[in-house]
Amino acid sequence: DIQMTQSPSSLSASVGDRVTITCRTSLDIRNDLGWYQLKPGKAPKRLIYGTSSLVSGVPSRFSGSGSGTEFTLTISSLQPEDFATYYCLEHNNYPPTFGQGTKVEIK
Amino acid sequence: EVQLLDSGGGLVQPGGSLRLSCAASGFTFSSYAMSWVRQAPGKGLEWVSAISGSGASTYYADSVKGRFTLSRDNSKNTLSLQMHSLRTEDTAVYYCAKVASAGFWSGDVDYWGQGSLVTVSS
């Protein structure tokens, strides 16, 4: 199976900060990667698909980049509602594999 | 608006069985493959199973193969995950999720249910 490494596992940041989360894969997955936001008690929400395409309705402060084996989710200016856990998902291989998650906490 | 309503979770003893359901609305259910993803307490997300739009093809993670069975009723827009021989390590919130692209299965999911908690404990 493919190996996914998501970092950091957690971070503390303030409102207005720029935040970057990285996923690295052991195999080239082209651009078959998405990013998801999880909050307790709520349905997970897709933010980015195809590495860099923003889901309709998601604020433009979220962006995705990368290709091949290294991918990044950036939040340009962290807002109070962005404190959550974020996961990457690669779907180029079987089985699809999630990153380990990054918990974004308030500093 | 796409809606997925998970139900059927609860407490079950090791070795027991449980059936999860997912009621879908807001899209042409039979055109889309569907998946289940779970999250154990304090752990990350794990893909569990998937089924094609017609129901003819199913896919399972090694950790549940032979114990879980996924099916769908396209006349009722419902998805069912029958779980047998449950283990303590199956304790998790189970989410049903819609595959993003119509017509074929992939791991790319766009909409999720709110989750259903399964607790396996004596």
Full pLDDT tens readout for chain A, 107 residues:
899 999 999 999 999 999 999 999 999 999 999 999 999 999 999 999 999 999 999 999 999 999 999 999 999 999 999 999 999 999 998 899 999 999 999 88
Residues B52, B111, B3, B23, CA torsion sign: positive
Closest C-alpha among B54, B61, B64, B48 to residue B109: B48
Q: Which residue has the tokens 């999250």?
A: B39
* The pLDDT of residue A106: 87
Taking CB atoms and an 8 Å limit, are A101 and B111 in contact across chains? no
The tokens for B43 are 């752990």
B37, B108, B112: best mutation site toward chain A, by most A Cβ within 10 Å? Answer: B108
Closest C-alpha among B25, B24, B15, B1 to residue B89: B15
In angstroms, the CA A61 to CA A73 distance is 10
- Name the residue type at position A74: T
Nearest beta carbon to residue B44 from set A42, A87, A96: A87
Ranges in chain B, pLDDT < 50: none
Q: Which residues contact A13 (CB under 8 A, 6 or more apart)?
A: A19, A78, A104, A105, A106, A107
A34: exposed, middle or buried (C-beta count within 10 Å: 0-12, 13-18, 19+)? buried
* The pLDDT of residue B106: 87
Taking CB atoms and an 8 Å limit, are B47 and A34 in contact across chains? no
* The pLDDT of residue A30: 94
A10, A30, A38, A49: best mutation site toward chain B, by most B Cβ within 10 Å? Answer: A38
B9 interfaces chain A, CB cutoff of 8 Å? no
CB B118 within 8 A of CB B40: no
Q: Which residue has the tokens 């752990």?
A: B43
* The pLDDT of residue B91: 98
Query: A19 pairs with which residues across the strands?
Result: A75
B59 interfaces chain A, CB cutoff of 8 Å? yes
